[in-house]
Amino acid sequence: MHAKALKAAFPHTLPVLAGFWFVGLAYGLYMNVSGFSFWYPLLMSLIVYGGSLQFVMVPLLLSPFAPLQAFFLALLIQARHIFYGISMLEKYRDLGWKRFYLIFSLCDETFSVNYAAEIPQGVDRGWFYLYISSLNHLFWVTASALGGLVGSILPFETQGLEFVLTALFVVILLDQWRKERQDANILIGLLASLACLLLLGPDHFLLPAMLTILTLLLLFRPPLKKRGDSK
C-alpha cells in the first residue's frame, strides 16, 4: 500500500522539487551570509516551513526583540493558509493521525498539488497526500541545509546575496500585479508603505504600514469590489 502510494505521489512532486531546491538553496545561502550556521536554516525549514516567512524572519532575528511586529507580519504573510485549510477540509477528512502533519505541511505548492491531483484507483488517499506533503517538506529542508553548508564551506563571493529577500518580494509583487484585475489594491499598498517609510523611517515603518494597508483595504473594499466586478 505504501509503495503504491509513494510511486503514484512522487511524479507530482517533481515540479516542486525543481522550485524548492533553487529557492531553498538561496535561503540557506542567505542565512549563511546573515551570520547563521547551517543548523539554523535546517531547523527553521523543518519546524517553521514557511517559505517567504522564513526569508522575512532573517532580519527579524537580527533585529531587536519585537514580538508584536513579528506576530502581525507572520499573520499577514501566512493568512492565505486559512483558505487553503478550508478548501482541504473534505479531502483531509477521516485521515486519522495523518491529518495533523498534512495540516502542518500545507504550503502553497503542496496545496496546489494535493487539491488538483487525481488519485489513481487502488491508491490509499491518506498515504498519497502524506507522501506528497512529506516529499515536498523533505525537498525544502534538504535544500535549505545544503545552501547553508555550501555557504559555509565553499569560498565564493556572497556580497549582495542579502538582496535575495528584496528580489523575492519584488517578483511576488510583479506576479500579483500581473494577475490583478485592477491596480488599486497594489497602489494602496505601495503608497501606504511609502508614506509610513517617509514619516517613521526604515526602522519603525513596517507594522504601521501593514495596519494602514489593512485598514484602507477594508474601508475601500465595497467600491473596489464593485469596480472589479464591473470589468
Whether residues 25 and 126 fall in one domain: yes
Q: Report if residue 94 sits inside a domain.
A: yes
Lowest mean pLDDT among 154-163, 184-193, 215-224: 154-163
Q: Report if residue 198 sits inside a domain.
A: yes
Q: What is the DSSP code string of 2-46? A: HHHHHHHHHHHHHHHHHHHHHHHHHHHHHHHHTT--THHHHHHHH
Reported as half-sphere exposure (CB side, CA atoms, 13 A), residue 85 has a value of 12
Residue 176, number of CB atoms within 10 A of its CB: 12
Whether residues 195 and 149 fall in one domain: no
Q: Report if residue 64 sits inside a domain.
A: yes
More confident residue, 50 or 129: 129
pLDDT at 34 over 90: no
Determine the average pLDDT of the residues in 141-152. Answer: 91
**How confident is the model at residue 176, as a pLDDT?**
63
- State the residue range of the domain holding 211: 180-230
Whether residues 52 and 108 fall in one domain: yes
Q: Report if residue 7 sits inside a domain.
A: yes
Q: Report if residue 25 sits inside a domain.
A: yes
Reported as half-sphere exposure (CB side, CA atoms, 13 A), residue 140 has a value of 25
Q: What is the DSSP code string of 65-77? A: P-HHHHHHHHHHH
Over the chain, what is the mean pLDDT? 83
**How confident is the model at residue 116, as a pLDDT?**
83
Describe the crossing of helices 2-33 and 164-179 by its angle, rounded to 10 degrees.
120
Q: Report if residue 165 sits inside a domain.
A: no
| Contact in structure between 158 and 148 (CB atoms under 8 Å) | no
Whether residues 24 and 80 fall in one domain: yes
Task: Give the model confidence (pLDDT) of 188-207 as tens digits.
Answer: 888 988 998 899 888 777 77
Q: Report if residue 21 sits inside a domain.
A: yes
Task: Give the model confidence (pLDDT) of 60-114 as tens digits.
Answer: 888 888 888 888 888 877 877 887 888 898 899 999 999 999 999 998 889 888 9
Say what the pTM is: 0.73
**How confident is the model at residue 103, as a pLDDT?**
94
Whether residues 29 and 80 fall in one domain: yes
Whether residues 124 and 186 fall in one domain: no
Lowest mean pLDDT among 37-51, 148-162, 186-200: 148-162
Whether residues 190 and 132 fall in one domain: no
CA–CA separation, 187 and 176 (whole Å): 12
Whether residues 8 and 101 fall in one domain: yes
pLDDT at 183 over 80: no
Whether residues 214 and 130 fall in one domain: no
pLDDT at 28 over 60: yes
Determine the average pLDDT of the residues in 31-38. Answer: 88
pLDDT at 231 over 60: no
Whether residues 125 and 14 fall in one domain: yes
Q: Report if residue 226 sits inside a domain.
A: yes
Grid cell at residue 166: 528584496
| Number of domains within the chain | 2
**How confident is the model at residue 100, as a pLDDT?**
94
Residue 7, number of CB atoms within 10 A of its CB: 12
Describe the crossing of helices 2-33 and 125-153 by its angle, rounded to 10 degrees.
30
Whether residues 148 and 188 fall in one domain: no
Whether residues 30 and 135 fall in one domain: yes
